Amino acid sequence: MIDLPAIRTGQLRDLRGADLEGVDLSGAALSDVDLTGANLAGANLSGAILRTRLRGADLSGANLTDADLRNADLRGALLLGARLQRASLSGAFLAGATLSNLMLTDLDFQGADLRGANLTRSNLSGADLAHSNLSGADLSRAILEEANLWGAVLCGADLSGANLLCAILEQARLDGVILNGTCVTGTALDR
């Protein structure tokens, strides 16, 4: 049995591989907690401060509304069905993470590491991805309308069938990008 009050007060910091499925940790300050490989499927983490290690964690169906995930280590994390409204992900490490079919509109991903991330069919309309690294990411059929990709690295990314209507791609690195069937109407490019 997990001692939730001990987690909330910071007394319990090593939760590697812990089964926290469906727990309510809303508003908890978890910056010093190691949640590497933890099962947080369906957990309520709304408003939580999660600037911590969540590498390989299962956050499927988790409520991360208003969560502070700045600079969090989410490499290889599974976020299927997660709710991330108004979450802050600037500087987060999301390399190899699964973020497909998610509503990620207007989120702050500035400077995030999304190398090799799976973002297929996700809605990133209005998202701020400035200076993020999306090398090798799968953005096929993603919606990136009015997204800010200024200075982003998209080398080798798959944007097949993506919607980049009025997106900002100035100063972006686009070497080897796959653009089959991609909508680029109104997209701001500097070359």
Q: Which tens digit of pLDDT belongs to each residue from 80-132?
A: 999 999 999 999 999 999 999 999 999 999 999 999 999 999 999 999 999 99
Give the three-state DSSP class for 6.
helix
Structure tokens at 113: 């590491």
Q: How far are the Cα atoms of 42, 133, 134, 162, 175 from residue 34, in angstroms, in the given order? A: 19, 25, 26, 35, 36
* pLDDT attached to residue 10: 76
Q: How far are the Cα atoms of 84, 112, 138 from residue 149, in angstroms, in the given order? A: 19, 11, 15
Is residue 166 predicted with pLDDT exceeding 90? yes
Global confidence as pTM: 0.92
Q: Using an 8 Å Cβ cutoff, are 41 and 58 in contact?
A: yes
Q: What are phi and psi of 7, to 5 degrees?
A: -70, -50
Is residue 159 predicted with pLDDT exceeding 70? yes
Q: How far are the Cα atoms of 5, 31, 49, 61, 149 from residue 53, in angstroms, in the given order? A: 20, 8, 12, 19, 26
The whole-number average pLDDT for the span 132-140 is 98
* pLDDT attached to residue 12: 87
* pLDDT attached to residue 160: 97
* pLDDT attached to residue 191: 57
Q: CB 49: neighbour CB atoms within 10 A?
A: 18
